[in-house]
Structures are given as structure tokens and as C-alpha cells.
A and B are shown apart, each in its own frame.
Chain A
Amino acid sequence: QKEVEQDPGPLSVPEGAIVSLNCTYSNSAFQYFMWYRQYSRKGPELLMYTYSSGNKEDGRFTAQVDKSSKYISLFIRDSQPSDSATYLCAMTAIGSNYKLTFGKGTLLTVNP
């Protein structure tokens, strides 16, 4: 079993839809959870950073962490064509804080 599983998609939604992106993980030591957005042929851009379980909201983006289920989500409300990108989840464990374990990424297309 891979440490981090992420559905690669592709996921195609109409403009204005609510998008749900998810990752599951197996390492219970993971404490810090991140979502990166990567446009085609560009570097990943940090979108959300959460520590331990709970929700965090930033504009149209909400990150959720459920450590009991080893499941994290990113919700995008009122999705826009400019949200079309690959979304990568990443996480680190206490004691190995520099090393990010990434999911493979979900390719999202928001159609106008």
C-alpha cells in the first residue's frame, strides 16, 4: 500500500461547481498536511497548510483533515476556469518534517 493515495482523475466540472479533492494515507505519524496547486509546466504553489485534524478555510478553499480516518480533503467553492490545474496533497511526520510525501495529484478542469 502506498503511503499516500490520491485519485489522479481527470476531474471535469462546470464553472461554479463545488469540487472535492481527496487523499488517503497510511502513516499515522503524519501531522502536517498541505495542498499544492500546479499549473501545467509550472512549479507547485502552496494553497493550504493544516496541522493535525480539523478544518481550515481560505476564501473559496477549505481544507479538512480527519486523522482518525487518515483522510484529507480540499473543497473548492464556486470553481473558476482559472482553478484548472493539478492538485497535489502532501504531508509530513513529526521528526521528519522536511520530507514531504506527495500524492500523485488530481488533474482538475473547470469548464466555462
Chain B
Amino acid sequence: DAMVIQNPRYQVTQFGKPVTLSCSQTLNHNVMYWYQQKSSQAPKLLFHYYDKDFNNEADTPDNFQSRRPNTSFCFLDIRSPGLGDAAMYLCATSRETGTSRSGRGNEQFFGPGTRLTVL
């Protein structure tokens, strides 16, 4: 089955210790996204890649970086995690960012998430 895979599912790190979260996809989608979701809140978009083009949201802290070495993989690096960065991190993909007349193309498909704990 085509899917979005995230590893690890649970990550524990120490305050200030860099951490990397991984996402891979078998959908062959052009676009990959990283979201942060805190408890009982909506997912918050951090950035996205269209192919190799990186697009940062204006309010994403510099502490968050991303890499996309190829179509299938995308990584989220948190350089110096703080207690406020504890959250679920969701990776998503879509075939395109725009839509056809029928409206299809930009549906986003999410992975299972990585729950990050900062001690």
C-alpha cells in the first residue's frame, strides 16, 4: 500500500539536544510538509518542499530546519529543543500544491506522526 511513514513514532530528547525526525513516502508525491500539533490544537504548518524547493512559513522558528535529499525522504531537524517544542510532528504529502478545475491534486495525506518529548 502506498503510504507515508514516520520514524520514530516516539522520540525522547533532552533540553537542547539536537534531534532529527524522519519521513518517507511511497506515493511519489511532489510535495512534502511538516506540521507541529500540540494537544487539542490544530496542526500548524512549519514548512513544505515542492520537489527540492523549500518553503518556510513566516512564523516557523529558526530552531526548526528541514532537508529533502530525494523525492521519497524528508527530515525535520530541531537544533536545540526546548520544553515548548514537545508535540506531535506530522509529515504529509500531496501530489501538487495547486488544483485542477475539479479541485483535486492538493489533498494532503498524513503519516502517523512522531510524538516528541523534551526532558
Chain B residues with Cβ below 8 Å from A42 are: 112-113
Chain B residues with Cβ below 8 Å from A32 are: 99, 103, 106
Chain A residues with Cβ below 8 Å from B41 are: 104
Check: A60 CB closer than 8 A to any chain B CB: no
Check: A108 CB closer than 8 A to any chain B CB: no
A44-B43 in contact (CB<8A): yes
B113-A98 in contact (CB<8A): no
Residue of B nearest to A86 (CB): B40
B98-A103 in contact (CB<8A): no
B99-A97 in contact (CB<8A): yes
Residue of A nearest to B31 (CB): A98
Chain B residues with Cβ below 8 Å from A51 are: 99, 102-103
Give the CA-CA distance A34 to B105 in the complex, in Å. 13
Given contacts A41-B113, A97-B99, A99-B45, A46 and B40 within 8 Å (CB-CB): no
Which of B4, B31, B109, B115 is within 8 Å of A41, CB to CB?
Answer: B115
Given contacts A44-B90, A97-B97, A98-B94, A103 and B42 within 8 Å (CB-CB): yes
Give the CA-CA distance A88 to B90 in the complex, in Å. 14
Residue of B nearest to A104 (CB): B42
Check: A66 CB closer than 8 A to any chain B CB: no
B residues 90-116 near A (Cβ < 8 Å) are 90, 92, 94, 96-99, 102-104, 106-113, 115
Chain B residues with Cβ below 8 Å from A50 are: 103
Residue of B nearest to A50 (CB): B103
Check: B68 CB closer than 8 A to any chain A CB: no
Q: A32-B103, A97-B96, A100-B43 are in contact. List 19 more A-B contacts (CB 8 A).
A: A8-B40, A31-B103, A43-B90, A43-B111, A44-B43, A49-B103, A49-B104, A51-B102, A52-B103, A88-B43, A92-B106, A97-B97, A97-B98, A97-B106, A102-B42, A102-B43, A104-B40, A104-B41, A104-B42
